[in-house]
Structure 1
Amino acid sequence: MRDSQEADEADLTGAQHELVEEFAETYGLADHLDVFHRVAQLLQHIADNENPEPDLTAGEAQALGRETSHPWHQPRLLYFTILVCSLGAIEQGWAQTGINGANLFLGQALGIDSGSAHDSFILGLINCGIYLAQGLFGAWLAEPVNSRLGRRGAILLASSLALLGNIGSALSPSWQILLLCRLILGTGLGLNSSTVNVYAAESAPAYIRGGLGVSWQMFTAAGICLGFLANVALYSAPSDLIWRLQLAVPLAPLIPLLLLIYSCPESAAWFTKRSKYGLAFASLSRLRNTELQAACEVYSAYLSNRILNKELDTEQPSAFTALASLITVPRNRHALYASYTVMLSQQICGINIIAFYSSTIFSSSGFSTQAALWASVIFGLLNFLFAIPAIWLMDALGRRSIMLWTLPPMALTMFFASLSLSLPEGTARFVLLAGLVYLFCMLYSPGVGPVPCAYSAEVFPLSVRELGMSAAISTASLWATVLSLTFPALLEGLGEQGSFGLYAGLNVVAWLLCWMFVRETKGVSLDHGMDEVFLPDQTTYMRQQLAAFWQGRGRT
């Protein structure tokens, strides 16, 4: 191989050479000029195979080859960063199941256990408080807070709010204070979920971004499982103390998150959006196997930003214009329909109702309180274990396909669970109901569970990706609020059997909506490829799907 910088430069045009020189000098990267020359060569060769191959070092060539042969061979710091981010997901799941167990005790402790419409509404509001705050405040804080504080600063602020919310909930002297603390907790969780998903995606290399993108849902499931275990572990605590402990212990993952987040590098993408390419290169070099791979991503972002700035005449669109473009631009609107559909489907399938109220449902179905808690532990464990296959299924089957394959059997399990509740109380009813709830969870965890966040993060163009993600999370949170708020009254009016039957029907509705609005994104590039997927108008797309169905090709 040639090892002289002059030989590398000879393969570049004069304009390309000058651009690389200008970039390196402007952003304090002159000491790495030789690396960026090789990057320019590499990008030129990728764009046109007739251009000469770049003259790479042996280590660089090996690292590029291993992107295909050993894609998961990455620096430890990358996985450490994903793991630290995942602590926020554990808190998200644990907060859900903390209230699940506390529901058995806090009503009586706070004087809202009469079963009246007022008390049922208050109990539902306390349960859905975290989702209400996520949808109205937390998710929408992501863009302004990230702009000012960066990804790590936003996660630090979000985790601090969540910590305050957990402590306040545990010490609440009344339901009014408890509700306020749940809203603070939800605000922190909403900001965390919006930021962590973006931070993890920006930290991961493109060729394993889908697999790493599953980490949020997978570790949320782990948090749900830990929450159920904590509920069982605290079962023997005094009745006037148990619910307070159940609301306090979800703060456990927040402590290491707060301590470790600044040991992770700041998002390189956050730096490049602010034209701080020197800092972006320093950050990304810690997360990639070679400086060449880091330089390639940074220089590609620089070239893309130059084109974008020219198109915008150096003026960035206002926040209102960007938000409005989600509706006014057809390509964005079609992505919004798809994103909203998968988020809505995740909520109306019934999973959060089980996460919130499984202990209550099992208890009212004849289980002892302790048996109900153990049944919920198994549910949480299955939710985590069956989320793991999604790391491979997301790219093997495709996002749309996995939704369409899992929703029908989920509807059937809900329907049969409804029928099982007509059986007399006893062992048979206990086993059948628990088995059907577990089967539902096993179908949900690798499909409807991980798809929505990963799908919503990829369907929007870069110019509105953060806003689109905030809108998607807000949608999911507000629907979770509605469902959680109405479920106590639903149980009162329809009973357990009618409630399960209703959610069986809602899974069918979710399947129809996914068939109509969700477009497949498996293997599609984030820029031009996604534009091609979402440019056709909705009527044209549905006609294509009907034509494929009648021709027996069933394009999913």
Structure 2
Amino acid sequence: MNRRFWAAATILTLGGLLFGYDTGVINGALPSMTADLGLEARFEGIVTSALQLGAVFGAVFGGRIADRVGRHRTVVIVAAIFVVGSLGSVLSPSWVVLMLCRVVLGFAVGAASGIIPIYLAELAPAHLRSRVVNQNEFMVVFGQFLAFSFNALIAQIGGSEGSGTWRWMLALCLVPAIALWIGMTVVPESPRWLAGRGRIDDMLEALRTIREHVYGASHYESSIYSAEQRPDPHSDEITHPVSGDVETVRSMVDSGDPGSTHRFRDLFAERWMRRVMLIGFGMAVINQISGINVIQYYGVTILTDAGFEGNTAFTVNLMIGVAGVIGMLLSLYLNTKVRRRRMLMGGLTGTVLTLTLMGTVSMLVPDDVEAKKWVILTAIVAFVGIMQCAVGAMTWLFMSEIFPTRVRGEAMGLAAGVQWSMNFCVALFFPYLMDTIGFGPTVFIFVALQVIALVWVYRVVPETKGKSLETIEKEFRDALER
């Protein structure tokens, strides 16, 4: 891969940064927002979950649009919506207008969450796919860390409940949104999407912009080829090892009907496709039933209830952001060495243990014990690190890999829509559960769901490490024929 490939990957992951910042910023903005806009406690869940509601529709329709008009054009549209939604949120005169603007912003977040992982997966060769897709997940977590950091800084300057403090927190989102919009000028269209439309010449042109060799003339001159084996450097045949997976794309296009249309029900028409969609939906659910976004959205509130007062809650909340970043950095290293299923199952085991500790201490240790809040903080930090390293990273990676090329955008959009639907439910109902049964019992609901997820992964989920996207598709097809 050449420099333009890495530049394109970096620009696309700004969408992940926006995803992380927009979902994390509400964590620290709520106190100021509540004081400034007269936001009642019963409406906090509505304002927080408005983004997730918009993300459901963004994920579903974004995937359909990406399959029809292309990945590149769709991301440009999404970047523009990020700018408009962010600006509207900053200027909102009331909590109702803010809620509506966050729905618009959520549409962009949802679309980006579904499109960008598959865009990156389609640009990258098999040996780099986990590295590149997880780079996006790192940017999601880094965006959340930036949100926590800027929230803490702005709260120190303007006061956690100061007038207009929340507007400055939201305004910072405009910077990466504009950068993504402008940066898309150097990102090529997905070669696989072009091949799926029968546009082989355009596919080759896109490959030339991101790979050192497509025709590989200089490579063919190496001593590993005999004179008889050396292909014509002016031929349009792709035989360079780096481009080997692209030849598979071409053969699959030749056996199909490039540019053919499909209906929604076609995604579930065949038995093997139903299995793929089931696994994709399962991954989307697993990503949310850990309770990770309870920590991301209500972290300051949870820490305040645990005993951290005032701006101290904002400061210690940074430890959660740091844990997520460290977890994702560790994931970038481990996913090149450890199998996907093993890493996911290890992560689920870790989240079960840390959540159990968190819930047990919350329920059994008296509030006047000073060590209680520190044990809860330690459990939260460990939980977030494990979750981001081995569960969050793996579920999004699986979803970016398993869907067939021809319907990957729409299928990924549906899976991301399921993820955001669960996200919406968690964000909306967590405050009510906290008030009704308390933090500890609520945590044990997530523990039970994690145990179910662990069993499901063991029984159902296949291994995808080191395989091209087309090989994964073929194995799904062949598995039900044996």
TM-score bin (small chain) = 0.7 to 0.9
Question: What code does the residue aligned with 1:362 have?
Answer: L
State whether structure 2 residue 61 is matched by structure 1 residue 140: yes
1:495-542 CA distance string (max 9 Å, x none): 12222222222221221232233222233443355443565569x9xx
User: 1:356 Cα shift?
Assistant: 0.5
Pick one of 298, 311, 316 that aligns with 2:260.
316
In structure 2, the residue corresponding to 1:450 is in which secondary structure? helix
Take 2:419 and 2:453, find their aligned partners in 1: how far apart are those partners? 14
Q: How does 1:123-134 map to 2 (within 5 A)?
A: 123-134=44-55
State whether structure 2 residue 258 is matched by structure 1 residue 338: no
1:21-41 CA distance string (max 9 Å, x none): xxxxxxxxxxxxxxxxxxxxx
State whether structure 2 residue 374 is matched by structure 1 residue 428: no
- Of the two structures, which has the highest relative contact order with CA contacts closer than 8 Å and spacing of 6 or more? 2
In structure 1, the residue corresponding to 2:163 is in which secondary structure? helix
Q: How does 1:96-115 map to 2 (within 5 A)?
A: 96-113=23-40, 115=41
In structure 2, the residue corresponding to 1:522 is in which secondary structure? coil
Take 2:476 and 2:52, find their aligned partners in 1: how far apart are those partners? 31
Take 2:11 and 2:3, find their aligned partners in 1: how far apart are those partners? 12
Take 2:175 and 2:442, find their aligned partners in 1: how far apart are those partners? 34
Take 2:58 and 2:134, find their aligned partners in 1: how far apart are those partners? 24
User: 1:295 Cα shift?
Assistant: 5.6
Match of 1:166 in 2: 86
1:431-471 CA distance string (max 9 Å, x none): 21111111111211221111112101211222322222111
TM-score (norm 1): 0.77
Pick one of 3, 13, 20 that aligns with 1:86.
13
User: 1:145 Cα shift?
Assistant: 4.9
In structure 2, the residue corresponding to 1:105 is in which secondary structure? helix
Unaligned 5+ segments in structure 1 are: 1-73, 541-556
State whether structure 2 residue 75 is matched by structure 1 residue 155: yes
Identity of aligned residues (%): 23
Contact 1:221 1:380 survives alignment (8 Å): yes
Match of 1:376 in 2: 317
Contact 1:222 1:384 survives alignment (8 Å): yes
Match of 1:241 in 2: 164
Contact 1:87 1:253 survives alignment (8 Å): yes
Contact 2:20 2:140 survives alignment (8 Å): yes
Take 1:392 and 1:214, find their aligned partners in 2: how far apart are those partners? 10
Aligned length: 452
Match of 1:461 in 2: 404
Match of 1:232 in 2: 152
- Bigger Rg, structure 1 or 2: 1
User: 1:315 Cα shift?
Assistant: 7.6
Take 1:263 and 1:525, find their aligned partners in 2: how far apart are those partners? 25
Take 2:134 and 2:47, find their aligned partners in 1: how far apart are those partners? 29
Contact 1:104 1:360 survives alignment (8 Å): no
In structure 2, the residue corresponding to 1:396 is in which secondary structure? coil
1:209-233 CA distance string (max 9 Å, x none): 1221111211100001000001011
Pick one of 275, 288, 300 that aligns with 1:347.
288
Match of 1:192 in 2: 112
In structure 2, the residue corresponding to 1:500 is in which secondary structure? helix
1:293-336 CA distance string (max 9 Å, x none): 59625665444322213xxxx78242x2xx32332311111111
Contact 1:330 1:535 survives alignment (8 Å): no
In structure 2, the residue corresponding to 1:292 is in which secondary structure? coil
User: 1:416 Cα shift?
Assistant: 1.1
Contact 1:521 1:533 survives alignment (8 Å): no
| Distance 1:347-1:535 versus aligned 2 partners, 3 A rule | farther
User: 1:256 Cα shift?
Assistant: 1.4
| Distance 1:145-1:174 versus aligned 2 partners, 3 A rule | same
Unaligned 5+ segments in structure 2 are: 217-235
User: 1:491 Cα shift?
Assistant: 0.8
Pick one of 431, 434, 450 that aligns with 2:393.
450
Contact 1:101 1:373 survives alignment (8 Å): yes
1:353-407 CA distance string (max 9 Å, x none): 1001111100111102211111211111110121122234334332222221121
TM-score (norm 2): 0.88
Contact 2:53 2:420 survives alignment (8 Å): yes
Take 1:136 and 1:300, find their aligned partners in 2: how far apart are those partners? 33
In structure 2, the residue corresponding to 1:406 is in which secondary structure? helix
In structure 1, the residue corresponding to 2:328 is in which secondary structure? coil
